[in-house]
Amino acid sequence: MEEATKHLHDTIPTAQTYMVDSDLKLPNIPHHGRPVTLATDFTIDKENMPHNYDLLNLHLHGLEVETHLFHPQGTSKSDAPWISLDVDECYCYRFRLPTTHPTGTYYYHPHRHGATGMQTWNGMWGPFLVTGGLDDDLADMTKNNTPHIDQPFFMWDAHVHRAKNHTEWEGRRGSGDESTLVETDDFLRNQAGQAEHIFVMVNNEFQPTLSMNTSQVMRIRLLCGASENMCGFRLRHTQSKVIVPLYNVGSDGRTWARAYTKQYMILMASQREEILIQIAEAGLYEATRPSARLFGGCTKSRANGQEFVLSTDMEFAKNERGSNEADITDVEIMGQGRIDFAMNTDVRILPFEQYVIDNKSYNVNRIDQMAQRLQVEEWVITNSQPTVHPLHIHVNPFQVKEVRTALENQIEFTDYITDTSTPMNRWRDTAIVPPYGSLRIWTRYAARAYGKTVFHCHFEAHSDTGMMSNLMITRHDTDKTSGADESTRTKS
Ligand SMILES: [Cu+2]
């Protein structure tokens, strides 16, 4: 079957990718709905044009493990290349999950620069659960006569075009015709607008029905597996529209000591939220994304007819195997960083638009930020434009200290987005950099992780087209390059 193997990574999209008509001299592309004429003497930034579609590697998102993106795994060489698997190749990764690792919902996805967007919006990602903690709390609850259901709720923004609705798309999938899937070339021509329909799939199904009864507690593991959209979640009675309170007991793979009640949840791409619900009255309820403007419909759940046990006085994480990392105090801060996320619109450069950090597109050989193990830093990430970007930093979590936007009271859910008080100092691996605003975080570089890694926007089309930076974490007192180079790459 050798001749049937199609190597997609040999083809880097060209100016042709951008053509709306066949007139090469006047490439027209829409920008915020208006046509833009590219310069005739444009240059192509090949590294940041989506490509390498059939090359792969592995990222364990949010897990507090060793660095693992560049070859050899754990390398401290500034020009180390991406770990990159071609067809029929395999790579031996070594990870040690500390016995004190927080417990909860994580996930994995490929992270090869240039291909991540297309691979993930076509569905190449999955959950990674670290057990213990809340699992044990809920097992105790079950022993005390309140049975619980562990319900995944993994949301995915399947990108579809040339299909009028979800049914038509499913029909084509069934017949093996995948032509409705949006590929990167389509995306480049028209950004997200090319996807005529973005269906929110839940656990890989469209509007699945979930069941529970009123004697049960449901633990819902919300995971926003969207590659370039936010996810939302609200549960209400289908007829009366009465909202079911959500007991939010953890975020991004960490369980808190108590629950906080919420009416709805807004998740940025790649974020996770742990929710407990209990339904007092039997009936049909619907889970929706809480805004018609920002979001579309999701799923339905049924409950049939005990005592309400959930409260914000309940204690959780008492069974956590290790203590959660101590909160950072301001006297620990040793350094400060300021980073700017932006979208440039230079008509002489492809890809158009250019997604940049500190006005630079990604360069695999350039170290943009240096840090040292055990160092504690404050970072402020700014965004002076109307776009939203989810910041993700690899292998080290951070505490969200402040989220600001000049659009206060002008966009929906600003209250939720800017609220850092419930709980205060929330540890996350991904956080929103809002439009016309900023994100302020505190981070402590762990002893376990060092070497070359990255931070980036988790809208993968943005990171594939440049919005990513290399971060070098040096070992304490030894700045020189060295690596835990035990990994091997083999042909299988
Ligand atoms: Cu972005």
pLDDT digit string (tens) for 261-309? 999 888 889 999 999 999 888 888 888 776 433 333 344 555 544 455 5
Q: Quote the pLDDT of residue 36.
A: 74
Do 404 and 488 sit in the same domain of this protein? Answer: yes
Range of the domain at 74: 45-129+323-492
CB 115 within 8 A of CB 59: no
Q: Are 442 and 378 in contact (CB under 8 A)?
A: yes
Are 58 and 185 within one domain? Answer: no
Residues 299 and 198 in one domain: yes
Ligand 1 centroid to Cα of residue 374, in Å, is 29
Domain-ending residue, one of 273, 304, 335? 304
- Is 349 found in the same domain as 298? no
Ligand 1 centre from 94 Cα, in Å? 30
Q: Is residue 33 a part of any domain in this protein? A: no
- pLDDT number for residue 193: 44
- DSSP H helices in 75-165: 116-121, 134-143
Asked if residue 296 and residue 176 are part of one domain, the reply reads yes
From 261, 276, 304, give the residue that closes a domain: 304
Domain boundary among 272, 304, 336: 304
Ligand 1: centre distance to CA 403 (Å)? 16
Q: How far is the CA of 457 from the centre of ligand 1 (A)?
A: 5
pLDDT of 322 reads: 43
Question: What is the pLDDT at residue 316?
Answer: 65
Residues 123 and 167 in one domain: no
Helix, strand, coil percentages, rounded to 5, for the chain? 15, 40, 50
Which among 92, 75, 39 is positioned nearest to 491, based on CA atoms?
92
What's the structural domain count of the chain? 2
In a domain? residue 8: no
- The string of pLDDT tens digits covering residues 55-97 is 999 999 999 999 999 999 999 999 999 999 998 899 999 999 9
39 found inside a domain: no
- 467 C-alpha to ligand 1 centroid (Å): 7
For residues 82 and 193, membership in a common domain is answered with no
Distance 437 CA to ligand 1 centre (A): 13
pLDDT score, position 359: 97
**Angle at Cα 323 formed by Cα 267 and Cα 373, nearest 5°?**
80
The per-residue pLDDT of the chain, averaged, comes to 80
- Strand, coil or helix: 264: coil
How much distance in Å is there from the Cα of 392 to the middle of ligand 1?
Answer: 10
- Distance from the alpha carbon of residue 121 to the mean position of ligand 1, in angstroms: 15
pLDDT at 429: 94
Q: What is the pLDDT of residue 323?
A: 42
Flag whether 9 is in a domain.
no
> How far does residue 460's CA lie from ligand 1's centre (Å)?
7
Residues 183 and 263 in one domain: yes
Cα of 432 vs centre of ligand 1, distance in Å, is 10
Span from the CA of 268 to the centroid of ligand 1 (angstroms)? 11
Q: How much distance in Å is there from the Cα of 342 to the middle of ligand 1?
A: 8
Enumerate long-range contacts of 407-416, CB under 8 Å, 24 or more apart: 407/434, 407/435, 407/436, 407/437, 411/435, 412/291, 412/293, 412/294, 413/264, 413/266, 413/290, 413/291, 413/294, 416/262, 416/264, 416/265, 416/266
Ligand 1 centroid–CA 7 distance in Å is 28
Helix (H) or strand (E) holding 171: helix 166-174
Give the span between the Cα atoms of 401 and 426, in whole angstroms.
8
Rounded distance from Cα 469 to ligand 1 centre (Å): 13
d(Cα 161, Cα 193) in Å, to the nearest integer?
10
Distance 359 CA to ligand 1 centre (A): 14
Task: Tell me the CA–centroid distance for residue 214 and ligand 1, in Å.
Answer: 41
**Residue 201 three-state SS:** strand
CA distance 151 to 275: 10
Residue 141 within any structural domain of the chain? no
| Amino acid 486: pLDDT | 35
Contact partners, residue 241, CB within 8 Å, separation at least 6: none
Q: Are residues 350 and 443 in the same domain?
A: yes
Specify the DSSP element, H or E, that contains 461.
helix 460-464
Centre of ligand 1 from the C-alpha of residue 391, in Å: 8
How is residue 67 annotated by DSSP?
Answer: -
Ligand 1 centroid to residue 164 C-alpha, Å: 28
Which CATH number is 67's domain given?
2.60.40.420
ipTM value for the complex: 0.89
> What's the pLDDT at 419?
78
Are 465 and 330 in a shared domain? yes
Residues 230 and 183 both lie in one domain: yes
Spatial CB neighbours of 413, under 8 Å, sequence gap ≥ 6: 264, 266, 290, 291, 294
In the reported structure, the alpha carbon of residue 230 is separated from the centroid of ligand 1 by a whole-number distance in angstroms of 11
pLDDT score at 4 = 46
| Dist. CA 210 → ligand 1 center (Å) | 33
Check whether residue 113 and residue 58 sit in a common domain. Answer: yes
In a domain, 11, yes or no: no
Does residue 315 lie in a domain region? no
- Ligand 1 mean position to 426 CA, how many Å? 22
Question: 3-state class of 300 per DSSP?
Answer: strand
Cα(463) to centroid(ligand 1), Å = 7
Q: What is the pLDDT at residue 188? A: 64
**Cβ–Cβ under 8 Å, residues 222 and 155:** yes
In a domain, 317, yes or no: no
Q: How far is the CA of 465 from the centre of ligand 1 (A)?
A: 10
Number of neighbouring beta carbons within 10 Å of residue 124: 15
Asked if 93 contacts 58 with a C-beta cutoff of 8 angstroms, the reply is yes
Answer for the pair 374, 428: CB distance below 8 angstroms, yes or no: no
Mean pLDDT in runs of 10 for the chain (492 residues)? 52 58 49 71 86 90 95 96 93 91 94 90 90 89 87 84 67 67 61 55 84 90 87 88 92 88 90 93 82 39 52 62 68 93 89 92 97 94 90 94 80 72 80 91 90 95 94 73 37 33
